[in-house]
A and B are shown apart, each in its own frame.
Chain A
Amino acid sequence: MALQPERHVLVVFPHPDDEAFGVSGTISTYVNQGTPVTYACLTLGEMGRNLGNPPFATRETLPLVRKKELIASCEAMGVTDLRMMGLRDKTVEFEDDEKMVQMMTDLIDELNPSLIITFYPNYAVHPDHEATARAVVRAVRRMPVEQRPKLHAVAFANNTGEGLGEPDIVNNIRDVREQKLGSMRAHISQTAWMLEENEKRLEAGEPEAENWLTYERFFSYRWHEDFEEQF
């Protein structure tokens, strides 16, 4: 499936692997279409809990493991502009809020994206996801309405259906499923159990198991229902 042409796509997530499950197919599709894609990843997932038993990494070596995985995932998707922003996992919400907005504003000013992909505020579960989403929305809100890039947001909180209904953007990514699997496999320290589960479900013929290799879903940010009055 060809996606609507974009000038530049900016993807902003806090953790290596945030892109893998829900967005890597969409990213790959844009790359394959020749759209410039920048992936800004705020942390190296330093606080990840999947260390194995017996452990394959320590709290101190995990960031290096995950940095390599992030680079490998970008190679699988074909992303050549990866920005590692140097924050620490699980601390994003405690950073100065204005500094976070400025980080996003700087990226937007430099790259002039026509589309930004990030999380949906209040529906993103992890505190780092929420803090990232807030910063992106605030940075875009400061722009004149007619200059704002589109905002496609990932929502997966348990109450997403009640709050947001059905996603309005559904990308068919079947053609790039090998690239998506490549991204998932690149993050093997985090995705091993999920890939294993999925193998079983595929073998059992469960249609759900095919689903994430076929569709990726986003919500256009609803400025008329902004998550806050002002910042």
Chain B
Amino acid sequence: MEIVQIEKLQQLLNSFANKDVYIHLETTNGAYASHFNEKVFNAGAFIRNVKLQYELGKVTADVPHRVGLKMAHGWVYAQGITHYEIDEQNRLLMAGHDYDGKLAVALEISETPFTY
């Protein structure tokens, strides 16, 4: 993966607009967060292979970045995005890695379903 370059990522977001796409979205602070620190309130969310269309996708300038997808009747967004790539299956993978190298957020867009 590469550090986000806004213009390039924006172009890629545009290229998936108004198409049926499959989404992977997750945020996490890890299953062990409140094991290591009992004061941590552990929350996260995960969806995978939800099919949707968005009409407008946007990446913001702030680092780490926010990425939002506006749909006909709703929204998808992720914050904390640091890296992106188009993989060999032409899927747009975006992720936010924290200062310890741990994944904190992922947003992925693909025209074909992701694996299980």
* Residues in chain A within 8 A of chain B (CB atoms): 47-55, 58-61, 63, 86, 88, 90, 125-128, 157-158
Cβ of B101 and Cβ of A55 under 8 Å apart? yes
Interface bracket on B = 20 to 34
Cβ of B93 and Cβ of A58 under 8 Å apart? yes
* Residues in chain B within 8 A of chain A (CB atoms): 1, 3, 24, 26, 28, 30-32, 35, 38, 46, 82-83, 85, 87, 91, 93, 95, 97-104, 106, 108, 114-116
In the A-B complex, the 6 residue pairs with the smallest Cβ-Cβ separation, listed nearest first, are A53-B101, A53-B97, A49-B102, A52-B101, A49-B103, A126-B31
Cβ of B95 and Cβ of A60 under 8 Å apart? no
Cβ of B93 and Cβ of A90 under 8 Å apart? no
Contacts known (A49-B28, A127-B31); A55 close to B87, Cβ less than 8 A: no
Max chain B CB contacts within 10 Å: which of A47, A63, A128? A47
Residue of B nearest to A129 (CB): B31
Some 19 contacts from A to B, beta carbons below 8 A apart, are A47-B26, A47-B28, A49-B102, A49-B104, A50-B101, A53-B82, A54-B1, A54-B83, A55-B1, A55-B95, A55-B97, A55-B103, A58-B85, A60-B93, A86-B116, A90-B31, A125-B32, A126-B31, A158-B35
- Which chain B positions have C-beta within 8 A of A50? 101-103
Contacts known (A58-B95, A59-B95, A60-B93); A51 close to B32, Cβ less than 8 A: no
C-alpha spacing A61/B93, complex, angstroms: 11
C-alpha spacing A218/B97, complex, angstroms: 35
